[in-house]
Amino acid sequence: MATGARLWRSRNHPAYWAFIVHRVSGLLLAAFLPLHFWALGQALEGEQALQGFIVWTDNPLVKIAEFGLVVALASHLAGGARLLMLEFLPWRDWQKSLFALAVAVSVGAGLLFALNLA
């Protein structure tokens, strides 16, 4: 079997995609932190600056970004819980389904948040 085919087969495994989702969500959350600290800093600038920021957050693009943030938080949490289960629990066949469960929890949390925004 060619090396490329073996490499693709190993990258098409659910555990690999769980690894990718966990790492990418972590990077997205790390990229969000400076914006979060800037938003908190608006409260220190005074009531008018904070109110201007709150008005800006009514923008539909910000609402979509909030949905993405909630999905990233939920997927990072679910992926971390999956890793802890794999590390500390005895190996069982059902653990192969943990990635699907993590995706379902992440999307469900994001949808609940999106429905709450409407």
Assigned domain for 6 exists: no
Residues 42, 46, 50, 55: is their CA dihedral positive or negative?
negative
* Domain CATH code at residue 112: 1.20.1300.10
Q: What's the confidence (pLDDT) of residue 96?
A: 67
Number of folded domains that form the chain: 1
pLDDT (tens digit per residue) in 50-102: 888 889 988 999 888 888 898 899 889 888 888 887 788 776 767 667 767 87
Domain, as residue range, for 100 = 15-117
Q: Contact 14/99 with Cβ under 8 angstroms?
A: yes
The residue written with tokens 């769980």 in the block is 18
Question: Is 51 a member of any domain?
Answer: yes
Decide if 48 contacts 102 (C-beta within 8 A).
Answer: no
pLDDT digits (tens, 9 = 90+) for 2-21: 565 565 666 777 778 888 98
On whether residue 55 sits in a domain, the answer given is yes
Residue 44: alpha-carbon gap to chain centroid: 28
Residues 78, 83: Cα–Cα separation, whole Å: 9
